[in-house]
Chain A
């Protein structure tokens, strides 16, 4: 479904001996408020981690630090062995990182096909090219494959502004799958989806190739615990517990904090 591209990420090798992501002591202050404090997190290549916590726990800030939208006040971030703490977002993307957003960030003036094509192009060479792609361009084919993977082939030529909410969320995921991602951050991908759409989402996530790891932020425990192998719980900007989905589900401290959450 999604094959390796000839691009920077693939050249670096998708199997690394080290960790996919390493956060050490990452803190982000906004004035006197610590949105995240002293977060230390390790993700192995291909690992599927869920980051859970109530609103304001710092999950989105964590994502923003990892992608580079926001610089941490202190601490280091290593991506596939490289220190990327001060790198701008596009440099991290070119090293295999991807992200989806809580509120879909799509290109409203362009069609679905154009959106996905741009995503495929972003990490390849010749992204500055003034020449139009020829008929047999491999990236065009790749874009079509991705569109099929997220079940959007019928809406291929429609403008994003004409899509339904659920379709926009599907497109959001397609954009993250473009190129050769090695680690994807999914920010509340299930938000606003119907039960059927949620099942499709779980299917897409569990069927991702094994070499692609991801971190998922979700309020829907159902979705999160079904796709994740390990869970980190955040509260007040700190990671206070880590474990397997089963352990977290049955942990008394977690249950106390989330008073009878989604599971009893």
Chain B
């Protein structure tokens, strides 16, 4: 094994350095647009986002204002039976087979939908984030256990569980429904957050934060979560829309709240009372279209948001 030469290598560049002046600082690169401004720039130009947001906000406006302008309480049997939409007496969407004000029911149902979406989606988001962050950051045995719990909740037949609950609780409010939905729809959110957290935790800035004495809580809240903020936001929107859809499904099959009215329940009652055969379109069409509109626009909004946040999806 020959020993490499230890003679000094030719000084091909050293002579250039002697007497060389320190070069001037390079010119400043054009200041890049700040992250938030760039996001807003794309946001206002994205048709899907504008459309989805527009529809959702209009429905929200109706949900907030509607119950105040409705002339009759939603569950009141005061009106004439099966009246089509009319301007008389404020029965703008007509009455049901049993004489209830469809408009009042509709706006109340809209309000209930947003409540379920916010509470149910919110609970699912919080549980999903807590489980996901913990599992993704800690790894190891904690991750294994949380994974097990997630999988168990995922495979629980929610329908059967709900039947049992319905049998025990004679009076169920909208909150019970929202809480139930929240407690059973968090697994996929937890999985998604866990996966993202895993990949972020392996980055060196997390190691550096640990070397700087940051606690685990600080690292999750200040280093990891803000990096995922767009992801978490979109996740919440999906959970929101999903909760509304699940609630409508449960209401339709009769497992909804027992003391109020919702869009799904309107559809259930209308079908039960043969509204289709009796051509009482004003009873089932508005709630059905409303559910479609809210959930659909939320999903469209989400696709738009994905394009705004993810530069690779934007067309040039």
Say whether A and B bind each other: no
Could you tell me which B residues sit within 8 Å of A by CB distance? none
Chain A residues near B (Cβ < 8 Å):
none
